[in-house]
């Protein structure tokens, strides 16, 4: 603690006559600069690898700028329409101007976007755009000549969904909802509802995998932490082996093991446990996803639990028994509570990795083992609906944050109660 300086008239000066404050500032500035230089690399790292991509994803999930940039006149004309009567000449003229002035590729992209609002837009615009150079007023007739679907009011009314530059349509789609043409939120058509099922399945799989990992990892970690060094090291190598083996190799190995004519089924049938018709189906379905993901994520559970257990001195268990607790009771009352931070860290880690997993479900999940991650990948790579993929990614992120918050709450409460 510094003591308050005695009040002095005029500024304090250093030995060479510079005001004290100024020279202090100069010396501080230097150390501040140095500190800044030190934090700069991690800061840049964070910005480029985290803030920018995630910000980009968040923007994409609500971004409807492109269409508004490509069709400015159309949307202006759309606003004047009463949405009941036939589309007016002014609207067609506006559409003509937009198509004529816009860049080809932009029109392509815009038509893809419009297709999400009303399937058919893309082919409609493609056909019309091809003839745009030869069109003459009145444009309504010219458009109708190009394609008579232009009279269909649904197309025009669907513009209402896209007229704002910010849209939540992707989020609605991601949870099986949709906008009607007046931007009311409605249920998605029954046959197009797929995502809610996938969300629940994803969360269910993640929770089951987390619990399975915990049940398997806890005893292994305990052994690792308590066995003599030499044996423990050997066991550790076995635990880490998966990290050193390619993911695909491991998945293929599981396929060989678990499929209908795989090693496990063959052995069970040969041993007479199963009859030939009742072979277990453990691959290309929900079970396959669970089994393989559990194996792959196991190390993420073992390592944090092990590292916490390693720090618990054996004298606690001895003390508890010395005080009269049976070994089991000592374990439950004294040992286990001290491993909770490790359990929490392991669970949250496994859960977070599991909830976004897609390679394993893709390969071994079959139809009912697919997860939301597979949908994100599909929309990123196949359908190119990046807005929807981004919305799903953002929801995933939020789910993880919610679970993290819950974890923090629980562990926090535990901390207050148990150390």
Return the residue of 40, 231, 248, 319 that touches another protein, per CB under 8 A: 319
- Find, among 264, 255, 263, the residue nearest to 364 by Cα: 255
Q: Which residues contact 368 (CB under 8 A, 6 or more apart)?
A: 201, 285, 286
CB 117 within 8 A of CB 158: yes
Site string for another protein, 336-355 (x = CB under 8 A): -xx-----------------
Beta-sheet strands, E only, within 147-205: 177-179, 185-187
CB 412 within 8 A of CB 396: no
Using a 10 angstrom Cβ sphere, with 0-12 exposed, 13-18 middle and 19 or more buried, the burial of residue 353 is middle
Return the residue of 205, 213, 320, 399 that touches another protein, per CB under 8 A: 320
CB of 213 to another protein, least distance (A): 24
Query: Which residue is listed with tokens 């944090």?
Result: 304
Return the residue of 30, 193, 318, 409 that touches another protein, per CB under 8 A: 318
According to the binding rule CB under 8 A, does residue 305 interact with another protein? Answer: no
Whose Cβ is closer to another protein: residue 267's or residue 415's? 415
Whose Cβ is closer to another protein: residue 334's or residue 390's? 334
CB of 227 to another protein, least distance (A): 16
According to the binding rule CB under 8 A, does residue 329 interact with another protein? Answer: yes
According to the binding rule CB under 8 A, does residue 313 interact with another protein? Answer: yes
Whose Cβ is closer to another protein: residue 164's or residue 414's? 414
Return the residue of 56, 333, 368, 413 that touches another protein, per CB under 8 A: 333
CB of 411 to another protein, least distance (A): 13
CB of 328 to another protein, least distance (A): 10
CB of 329 to another protein, least distance (A): 6
Using a 10 angstrom Cβ sphere, with 0-12 exposed, 13-18 middle and 19 or more buried, the burial of residue 36 is exposed
For every residue of 30-97, DSSP letters joined together read HHHHHHHHHHHHHHHHHIIIIIHHHHHHHHHHHB-HHHHHH-HHHHHHHHH--SSSPPPHHHHHHHHH
CA angle, corner 161, sides to 58 and 137, nearest 5?
Answer: 125
According to the binding rule CB under 8 A, does residue 411 interact with another protein? Answer: no
Q: Which residues contact 386 (CB under 8 A, 6 or more apart)?
A: 60, 379, 380
**3 state DSSP class of 188:** coil
For every residue of 217-248, DSSP letters joined together read HHHHHHHHHHS-HHHHHHHHHHHHHHHHS-HH
Could you say which residues in the range 143-182 bind another protein, by CB under 8 A? none
Whose Cβ is closer to another protein: residue 245's or residue 415's? 415
Return the residue of 229, 324, 367, 382 that touches another protein, per CB under 8 A: 324
Return the residue of 19, 53, 137, 327 that touches another protein, per CB under 8 A: 327
Single out the segment in contact with another protein by CB under 8 A; choices: 135-143, 160-168, 235-243, 330-338: 330-338
Pairing status of strand 177-179 against strand 185-187: antiparallel
Single out the segment in contact with another protein by CB under 8 A; choices: 9-17, 123-131, 334-342, 374-382: 334-342
Q: Under the rule (CB under 8 A), what is the footprint of another protein?
A: 313, 315-316, 318-327, 329-330, 333-334, 337-338, 418-419
């Amino acid at each position: 603690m510094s003591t308050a300086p005695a009040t002095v008239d005029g500024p304090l000066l250093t030995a060479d006559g510079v005001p004290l404050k100024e020279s202090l500032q100069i010396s501080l500035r230097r150390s501040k600069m140095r500190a800044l230089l030190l934090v700069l690399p991690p800061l840049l790292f964070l910005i480029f690898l985290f803030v920018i991509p995630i910000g980009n994803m968040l923007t994409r999930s609500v971004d409807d700028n492109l269409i508004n940039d490509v069709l400015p006149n159309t949307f202006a004309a759309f606003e004047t329409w009463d949405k009941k009567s036939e589309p007016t000449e002014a609207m067609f003229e506006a559409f003509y101007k937009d198509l004529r002035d816009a860049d080809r590729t932009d029109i392509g992209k815009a038509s893809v976007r419009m297709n999400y609002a009303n399937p058919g837009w893309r082919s409609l615009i493609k056909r019309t755009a091809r003839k745009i150079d030869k069109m003459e007023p009145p444009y309504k007739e010219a458009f109708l000549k190009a394609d008579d679907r232009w009279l269909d009011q649904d197309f025009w009314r669907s513009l209402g969904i896209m007229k704002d530059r910010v849209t939540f349509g992707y989020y609605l789609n991601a949870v099986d909802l949709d906008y009607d043409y007046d931007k009311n939120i409605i249920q998605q058509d029954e046959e197009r509802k797929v995502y809610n099922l996938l969300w629940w399945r994803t969360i269910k799989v993640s929770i089951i995998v987390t619990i399975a990992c915990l049940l398997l990892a806890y005893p292994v970690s305990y052994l690792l932490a308590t066995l003599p060094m030499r044996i423990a090291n050997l066991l550790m190598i076995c635990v880490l082996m998966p990290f050193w083996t390619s993911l695909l190799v491991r998945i293929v190995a599981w396929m060989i093991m678990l499929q209908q004519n795989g090693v496990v089924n063959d052995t069970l049938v040969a041993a007479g446990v199963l009859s030939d018709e009742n072979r277990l189906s453990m691959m290309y379905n929900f079970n396959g996803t669970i089994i393989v993901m559990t194996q792959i994520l196991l190390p993420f559970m073992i390592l944090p639990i092990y590292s916490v257990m390693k720090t618990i001195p054996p004298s606690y268990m001895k003390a508890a028994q010395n005080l009269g607790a049976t070994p089991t009771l000592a374990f439950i009352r004294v040992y286990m509570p001290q491993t909770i931070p490790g359990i929490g860290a392991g669970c949250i880690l496994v859960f977070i990795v599991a909830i976004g997993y897609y390679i394993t479900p893709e390969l071994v999940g079959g139809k009912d083992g697919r997860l939301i991650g597979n949908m994100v990948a599909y929309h990123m790579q196949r359908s190119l609906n990046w807005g929807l993929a981004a919305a799903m990614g953002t929801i995933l992120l939020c789910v993880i944050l919610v679970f993290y918050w819950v974890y923090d709450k629980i562990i926090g409460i535990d901390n207050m109660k148990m150390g």
